[in-house]
């Protein structure tokens, strides 16, 4: 998994392991430090963006449906 300071090799959404902050980062960009934990080594994990969107849509639908 990439760390802060490394060059990104693939466009995508990434989440850091320390607090779950998410970023969208382009190919060739440098991974940043975590904005909340500058003193820690920041490791970025790729997020399955399609799965994240699907979960949010399902959650939103469930919140809007009246109870039977």
Least confident stretch, 4-13, 22-31, 40-49: 40-49
Rounded Cα distance, 21 and 35, in Å: 8
List CB contacts of 36: < 8 A, sequence separation 6 or more.
18, 19, 21
For the entire predicted model, the pTM comes to: 0.68
| pLDDT value at residue 2 | 92
State pLDDT tens for residues 47-66.
Answer: 975 555 566 666 676 677 66
42, pLDDT greater than 70: yes
| pLDDT value at residue 9 | 94
List, as one string, the DSSP characters of 16-52: ETTT--EEEE-TTPBPPPPSS-TTSPPBEEE--HHHH
Tokens of 4: 């802060």
| pLDDT value at residue 38 | 86
Q: Residue 22: phi, psi to the nearest 5?
A: -115, 145
């Amino acid at each position: 998994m990439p760390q802060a300071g490394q060059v990104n090799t693939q466009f995508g959404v990434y989440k850091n392991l320390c607090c779950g902050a998410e970023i969208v980062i382009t190919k060739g960009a440098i991974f940043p430090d975590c904005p909340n934990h500058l003193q820690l080594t920041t490791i970025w994990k790729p997020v399955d963006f399609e799965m994240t969107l699907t979960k949010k849509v399902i959650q939103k639908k469930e919140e809007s449906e009246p109870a039977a």
